[in-house]
Structure formats: C-alpha cells, structure tokens
C-alpha cells in the first residue's frame, strides 16, 4: 500500500523529469503560476489602499512586515519625522498591518467621538497579561475593576505619587527640550 508521502514524491519526481526533458513546459508552468498569483493578488484588493488615499511612506514600508521599530525611541523619532513630512494623517504598514496614523489631537478626538466602539484598547490585544485588570478590560468589566481599585487612588496616595510621576515626566521631556 502506498502512503501519501510516496504518492506525493512520485508526482513531484514525474513533474521534475518532465521539466528536465522539456524545458519549455517548465517555463510555461512557471509563467502560468506567476500569472495566477498576480491575478489573485490583483483581484483580492478591491478597496483602495490606505496609502493611496492618505499618502505615506513607501520606501521602508514595502516589506511584508512594513516598519519594524528598533526601540520605542526609534519609533517615536520615526513617527515625528513622518508626521512632519506627510502631515496630520498618513498611512503606513507597521508589523504587517496597514495602519492609519493621525497626529492632530483634535482629529483623534473627533474620530473617538464619532466611532467610540470601533476602537479597542490595543494594550492587551495579544493577551500579554493572562488576568484581566483595569488596563486591559473595557466596558462594564472595566467599571467594576475601576470601582475596586478606586480606594487605592485616594487623595493621600495620589499626593504621594506626584513627585515620582513628575520625575518620570521630566526625564521624558528634557531630551526633547534640548532639540
């Protein structure tokens, strides 16, 4: 009894020997495969791309994954340069996903106001944290977590956190002031 692997290897061997004996058949097959792939890719994209609509970088975003930041600082600097170049709204590919980047605060608020349920918290989409919490939940579950955590944020505790938060904010802002 022949196994599936044996049948597959037999078919591949026959195809290889046919291509070796008749090079034109191999060339024709390769051209047909490429043509079918291009046709499929062309038919798949019916809507115009975000980049075609909003503009945006193409040079380093043409790879399948698009822009891959080396660090948080690298991504912030790159997005600042792109915002200066392309304006308040532009599109680019980041880590394999087409993204629309908005840089104007008022425009962002308008989008959130008009379509509040279209945006999920991106913080825990990959389930980095196994248990739900105030940072990773939404809706009624978030409200319940917020009520449970509210006593920890009373006036005395909040006042104790201010110096540490101010120090972190100063460390973040000071390199940007020097530029």
The reported pLDDT for the residue numbered 156 is: 87
Same-domain check for residues 93 and 145 = no
Tell me: do 115 and 81 sit in the same domain. Answer: yes
What phi-psi label fits residue 101: left (phi over 0), alpha (psi between -120 and 50 degrees) or beta?
Answer: beta
Global confidence as pTM: 0.41
> Do 70 and 113 share a domain, yes or no?
yes
The residues that bridge with 89 in the sheet, in sequence order, are: 102
pLDDT above 70 for 119: no
CA distance 101 to 82: 10
Mean pLDDT: which of 43-47, 50-54, 153-157 is highest? 153-157
70-111 tens-digit pLDDT: 777 777 788 888 888 888 888 887 777 778 888 888 888 888
| Length in residues, the chain | 179
Q: How far is CA 14 from CA 4, 9, 18, 27, 158, in A?
A: 15, 9, 6, 16, 75
Is residue 139 domain-shared with residue 156, that is, in the same domain?
A: yes
**Residue-wise pLDDT tens digits, 122-133:** 555 555 556 677
Residue 138 pLDDT more than 60? Answer: yes
Candidates 72, 48, 67, 83; CA nearest to 172 is: 72
pLDDT at 8: 80
In this structure, the answer to whether residues 53 and 115 fall within a common structural domain is: yes
Per the structure, the complete domain to which residue 31 belongs is given by: 4-44
Number of domains in the chain: 3
Same domain, 108 and 133: no
């Amino acid at each position: 009894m022949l196994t599936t692997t044996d049948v597959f290897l037999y078919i591949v061997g026959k195809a290889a020997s046919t291509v070796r004996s008749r090079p034109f058949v191999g060339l024709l097959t390769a051209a047909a495969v490429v043509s079918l792939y291009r046709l499929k890719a062309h038919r798949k994209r019916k809507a115009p791309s975000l980049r075609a609509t909003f503009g945006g970088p193409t040079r380093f975003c043409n790879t399948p994954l698009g822009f891959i930041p080396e660090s948080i600082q690298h991504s912030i600097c790159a997005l600042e340069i792109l915002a200066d170049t392309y304006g308040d709204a532009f599109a680019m590919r980041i880590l394999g996903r087409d993204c629309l980047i908005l840089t104007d605060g008022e425009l962002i608020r308008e989008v959130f106001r008009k379509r509040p349920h279209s945006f999920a918290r991106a913080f825990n989409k990959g389930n980095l944290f196994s248990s739900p919490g105030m940072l990773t939940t939404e809706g009624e579950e978030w409200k319940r977590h917020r009520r449970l955590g509210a006593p920890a944020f009373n006036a005395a505790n909040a006042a104790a956190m201010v110096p540490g938060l101010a120090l972190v904010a100063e460390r973040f802002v000071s390199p940007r002031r020097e530029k």
